[in-house]
Structure 1
Amino acid sequence: MGLAQKFTPKIGAVAKSKADIEAAQAEAPHLKRVNWRSDPGLRKLYFYAFFICIASATTGYDGSMLNNLRILPIWTDYFKDPKGDTLGLLTALYAIGSIASLPIAPFIADRFGRRSCITIGCVIMIAAAAIQGAAQNLDYFMGGRFLMGFGNSLAQLSSPLLLTELCHPQHRARVTAVYNCLWNVGAIICTWLTFGTKRIDNDWCWRIPALSQAAPSVIQLAAIWFIPESPRWLISKERNEEALNILAKYHANGDADNATVQFEYAEIKETLRLEFQYQKSSSYLDFFKTKGNRYRLMLLASLGLFSQWSGNGLVSYYATDVYDSIGIKDADTQLGINGGLTILSLIVSVSCALLVDRVGRRPLFISATAAMCVTFIVWTIASSQQEATKSKAAGQAVIAMIWIFSVAYALAWSGLLVAYTVEILPFKIRAKGLMIMNFFIQVALTINQYVNPYGFQYLHPTWKFYTIYACWIFLELIFVTVFYVETRGPTLEEVAKIFDGDEAEVAHVDLGKVEDDIMQHGGTTGFEKEDHVRVEQVRSSS
Structure 2
Amino acid sequence: MAGGVVAAAAADSGINSLLDPRRKWYNNRRLFALNAWIILLLITSSTNGYDGSMMNGLQSLDQWKDYFNHPSDSELGLLNAIQNIGSLAAYPFAPYLSDGIGRRMTVFVGASIMCIATAIQSAAQSEGMFVGARFLIGFGLTFAANAAPMLVSEISYPRYRAQLTATYNSLWYLGAIIAAWTTFGTFKINNTWAWRVPSVLQGLPSVIQVCLIWFVPESPRWLVYKGKEEQALKVLAHYHADGNRDDPLVQYEFNEIKNAIEYDREIAANVGWKSFIATPGNLKRLRIIVAIAFFSQWSGNGLASYYLNKILDDINIKDATTQLLINGILAIWNLFCALIASSLVEKLGRRFMFLCSSIGMLVWFTSQTIAFAQFQINGQPAAAHSVIAFIFLFYAFYDIAYTPLIVMYTVEILPYPLRAKGFTIFNFTISLALIFNQYVNPIALGHITWKYYIVYCCWIAFECVFVYLYVVETKGLTLEETAAIFDGEGATNEMIGGVLNVVEKHEKQSIGEVENVATLDKA
Q: Taking structure 2 as the reference length, what is the TM-score of the superposition? A: 0.94
What amino acid is the match of 1:307? S
Secondary structure of 2:486's aligned partner: helix
What do the CA deviations read for 1:101-122 (whole angstroms, capped 9, x no partner)? 1111000000100011100000
What amino acid is the match of 1:228? P
CA distance in 1, matches of 2:185, 2:475: 43
Is residue 104 of structure 1 aligned with residue 93 of structure 2?
yes
State the Cα distance separating 1:279 from its structure 2 match: 4.8
State the Cα distance separating 1:418 from its structure 2 match: 0.5
Partner of 1:79: 68
Pair 1:246–1:341, CA change in 2 (3 A)? same
State the Cα distance separating 1:521 from its structure 2 match: 12
CA distance in 1, matches of 2:87, 2:512: 51
Partner of 1:208: 197
Is residue 54 of structure 1 aligned with residue 43 of structure 2?
yes
Is residue 163 of structure 1 aligned with residue 146 of structure 2?
no
State the Cα distance separating 1:502 from its structure 2 match: 2.7
Secondary structure of 1:263's aligned partner: helix
Is the 2:49–2:176 contact (alpha carbons within 8 Å) kept by the matching residues of 1?
A: yes
- The number of residues matched between the two structures is 503
Is the 2:415–2:484 contact (alpha carbons within 8 Å) kept by the matching residues of 1?
A: no
CA distance in 1, matches of 2:273, 2:368: 40
What do the CA deviations read for 1:231-261 (whole angstroms, capped 9, x no partner)? 1100111111111111011001111111101
CA distance in 2, matches of 1:43, 1:271: 28
CA distance in 2, matches of 1:475, 1:278: 35
Partner of 2:398: 409
CA distance in 1, matches of 2:82, 2:43: 22
What do the CA deviations read for 1:63-119 (whole angstroms, capped 9, x no partner)? 111111010001001111112322222111111111111111000000100011100
Partner of 2:486: 499
State the Cα distance separating 1:37 from its structure 2 match: 1.7
Partner of 1:282: 271
Is residue 41 of structure 1 aligned with residue 30 of structure 2?
yes
Is the 1:160–1:176 contact (alpha carbons within 8 Å) kept by the matching residues of 2?
A: yes
Is residue 179 of structure 1 aligned with residue 168 of structure 2?
yes
State the Cα distance separating 1:20 from its structure 2 match: 3.0
Is 24-33 or 261-270 further displaced after alignment?
Answer: 24-33
CA distance in 1, matches of 2:196, 2:8: 52
State the Cα distance separating 1:516 from its structure 2 match: 5.1
Partner of 2:429: 440
CA distance in 2, matches of 1:176, 1:323: 34
Secondary structure of 2:473's aligned partner: coil
- Is there any run of 5+ residues in structure 2 with no aligned partner, and where? 514-523
Is residue 488 of structure 1 aligned with residue 475 of structure 2?
yes
What do the CA deviations read for 1:134-186 (whole angstroms, capped 9, x no partner)? 11110000001110001111000100010000011111101110111110010
What amino acid is the match of 1:438? N
Partner of 1:24: 7
Partner of 1:398: 387
CA distance in 2, matches of 1:423, 1:503: 19
Partner of 1:515: 506
State the Cα distance separating 1:282 from its structure 2 match: 2.2
Find the partner of 1:471 among 458, 478, 482: 458
Is the 1:423–1:495 contact (alpha carbons within 8 Å) kept by the matching residues of 2?
A: yes
Secondary structure of 1:82's aligned partner: coil
What do the CA deviations read for 1:11-53 (whole angstroms, capped 9, x no partner)? xxxxxx3x33222212212332442221222111111111110
What amino acid is the match of 2:9? A
Pair 1:250–1:92, CA change in 2 (3 A)? same
What do the CA deviations read for 1:188-223 (whole angstroms, capped 9, x no partner)? 000000101111100000011112110111112222
What amino acid is the match of 1:240? E
Is the 1:37–1:43 contact (alpha carbons within 8 Å) kept by the matching residues of 2?
A: yes
Secondary structure of 2:404's aligned partner: helix
What do the CA deviations read for 1:334-362 (whole angstroms, capped 9, x no partner)? 11001111111111111110111111111
Residues 338-349 of structure 1: matches in 2 within 5 Å? 338-349=327-338
Partner of 1:534: none
Partner of 1:272: 261
What amino acid is the match of 2:474? T
What amino acid is the match of 2:86? G
More helix by share: 2
Pair 1:290–1:278, CA change in 2 (3 A)? closer
CA distance in 1, matches of 2:510, 2:391: 58
CA distance in 1, matches of 2:283, 2:421: 14
CA distance in 1, matches of 2:271, 2:141: 23
Is 205-214 or 273-282 further displaced after alignment?
Answer: 273-282
CA distance in 2, matches of 1:325, 1:434: 37
Partner of 2:283: 294
CA distance in 2, matches of 1:514, 1:156: 40
Is the 1:83–1:453 contact (alpha carbons within 8 Å) kept by the matching residues of 2?
A: no
Is the 2:3–2:490 contact (alpha carbons within 8 Å) kept by the matching residues of 1?
A: no
Is the 2:177–2:332 contact (alpha carbons within 8 Å) kept by the matching residues of 1?
A: yes
Partner of 2:219: 230
CA distance in 2, matches of 1:278, 1:337: 53
CA RMSD in angstroms comes to: 1.6
What amino acid is the match of 1:512? V
Secondary structure of 1:36's aligned partner: coil
Is residue 306 of structure 1 aligned with residue 289 of structure 2?
no
Is residue 421 of structure 1 aligned with residue 421 of structure 2?
no
What amino acid is the match of 2:52? G
Q: Which consecutive segments of 4 or more residues in structure 1 shift more than 3 A?
A: 278-281, 516-522
State the Cα distance separating 1:490 from its structure 2 match: 1.6
Pair 1:281–1:506, CA change in 2 (3 A)? same
CA distance in 2, matches of 1:156, 1:470: 30
Q: Taking structure 1 as the reference length, what is the TM-score of the superposition? A: 0.91
Is residue 353 of structure 1 aligned with residue 368 of structure 2?
no
Is residue 260 of structure 1 aligned with residue 210 of structure 2?
no
CA distance in 2, matches of 1:84, 1:432: 35
State the Cα distance separating 1:496 from its structure 2 match: 2.2
CA distance in 2, matches of 1:244, 1:24: 23
What amino acid is the match of 2:462? L
CA distance in 2, matches of 1:117, 1:512: 35
What amino acid is the match of 1:157? N
State the Cα distance separating 1:280 from its structure 2 match: 5.2
Residues 375-386 of structure 1: matches in 2 within 5 Å? 375-386=364-375
State the Cα distance separating 1:411 from its structure 2 match: 1.0
Partner of 1:335: 324
Find the partner of 2:210 among 212, 217, 221: 221
Secondary structure of 2:230's aligned partner: helix
What's the % identity of the aligned pairs?
45
